[in-house]
Structure 1
Amino acid sequence: MVGSRWITGATLFVSAVVSGVAFASAEDELARGIAAYHDWEHEKAYEIFGALAEQGYAPAQAYLGHLYQRGIDVPQDFDQAARWYRQSAEQGHAPGQEGLATLYVDGLGVPQDFVEAERWLRRAADQGYVSAKNNLGVLHQNGWGVPQDMAQAARWYRRAAEQGYPLAQASLGQMYALDRKLVQAYMWAELAASQGIVTSLIEELDPHMTPGQVAEAERRARVCLDSNYAQCD
């Protein structure tokens, strides 16, 4: 399995991809399924997602793949997870694309294939799907399916970090630290920590920074947040 900065396709969103069902009906039913899922009524959620998925509704297919991948109130079944993620992914649904990529990374329900994982992640990232951008950073950092390239990894992490994604912010901070850019490293670690991401980076950086550098990093973090990540240099 991949390192700690990888995230599985657990965070799904609704898109307007519909096949064989009326949009309003499918969207309303999906909302009921999501509400049931968050209320721990997983059997009800499974029934709703399953009915919509059988009718070709891509967002429901991605959710159903997630239930099978995680074994949530259904037997864990990676073949079924791959089946439903693929049907969603082939309709262009970003969460389905990322979900399928996570299976290719670990070889669950499909042969392990980092090249395929990168291909599906890039499709999701091209639609702006933030966790896919983070995971592309992981692939480039480790050289899985692509040549190992720290500059490319940093670019993908930054794209996700500037969407407010805390895992990418923490990873970007680590990369700046390796490059000895301590103020930038501290700034991104601070932003990740403000969203609850536990990282030892701030404690590791403190002994190597002057009070003025720490103050500057904190100032930059405030500017970054106040600008909604538009000014994060």
Structure 2
Amino acid sequence: MRRLILIFAAWLAAANVAFADSARITWEWYNAAEVHQGRKVASPTDQKLAAHYFRLAADKGNIAAAYKLGEIYENGQGLAPDPVQAFSWYMKAAAGNDKHGQLKVGWCYQKGIAVTADPSIAAIWYRVAAENGNIWGYHMLAFMLADGEGMKKDVGLARRYLELSLPKTNDHWAKWKLAQLIEAVDPKRAKSLLKEASEAGNAQAAEELKRIDPKH
């Protein structure tokens, strides 16, 4: 029995070393991909090499690389654009608990990219992403709650999620939407948010600002 235990312990140690080596090499491929992708002027060759190394890592189970490969297929940089492949890799990343992949799966379901549009499923994935630490998940949920898209309309919760996400996203659309939600109770702050959004190039915010303050 002691001999069997020693043999099993030796096998387990070898397996752990092999797993560590496998995990390490996926990150070496991932880092190589980022080097090519991150060059100031990434040539078509750089983009293809980035896609190649991300695929090597993703095929070995690196979920961060799976997400990156999804982006490459979505944007057509290094590979021909392919929304079906993009969704497939985003889903693999999401299934591996990657918060960025989870957000993208939600986006695909909301917009009907490579799948039948289903805002209720989109909302589920946004919530999963948000609870996994992706602040943009709360941002997207806020808009859906404010408009009653894919879930019951809840202006109070929409406002709460925007208040939570806006300090980190600084998104001009979030400022525009939050201004709409608080205009009746806090017109001064609503005006300030619209001004900020307008200065960031949001044309709809500029129109809203003119409506409530013709001087602008």
Alignment TM class, shorter chain as reference: 0.7 to 0.9
Partner residue of 1:84? 89
Identify the structure with the greater helix proportion: 2
Aligned pair 1:117/2:122, yes or no?
Answer: yes
Segment drifting more, 131-140 vs 91-100 = 131-140
Corresponding pairs, count = 193
Residue pairs, 1:135-174, within 5 angstroms: 135-166=140-171, 167-174=173-180
2:187 corresponding residue in structure 1: 182
Contact 1:133-1:156 at 8 Å conserved across structures? yes
For residue 32 of structure 2, what is the aligned residue in structure 1? 29
Give the Cα separation in 1 of the matches to 2:112 and 2:178: 27
Bigger Cα Rg = 2
Which shows bigger deviation, 167-176 or 32-41?
A: 32-41
Q: Which residue of the other structure, out of 38, 42, 46, is the alignment partner of 1:39? A: 42
Which residue in 1 is equivalent to 2:58?
A: 53
Question: Structure 2: how far apart are the matches of 1:128 and 1:44?
Answer: 31
Q: Are the aligned partners of 2:29 and 2:53 in contact in 1 as well (CA < 8 Å)?
A: no
TM-aligned CA deviation for residue 19 of structure 1: 11
In 2 relative to 1, CA 33–57 (structure 1 residues): closer, same or farther, beyond 3 Å? farther
Gaps of 5+ in 1: 1-17, 215-233
The TM-score normalised by the length of structure 1 is: 0.69
Tell me the secondary structure at the aligned position of residue 115 of structure 2.
coil
For the aligned residue pairs, the C-alpha RMSD in angstroms reads 3.1
Higher mean C-alpha deviation, range 98-107 or range 18-27: 18-27
Q: TM-score, normalised by structure 2?
A: 0.74
Equivalent in the alignment of 2:209: 205
Larger relative contact order (Cα-Cα within 8 Å, sequence gap ≥ 6): 1
When residues 200 and 104 of structure 1 are mapped into structure 2, their CA distance, relative to the original with a 3 A threshold, is: closer
In the alignment, is the contact (CA less than 8 A) between 2:147 and 2:153 conserved in 1?
yes
In 2, Cα distance between the equivalents of 1:207 and 1:170?
A: 13
Instruction: Give the conservation status (yes or no) of the 8 Å contact 2:30–2:65.
Output: no
Structure 1 residue 165: Cα displacement: 2.5
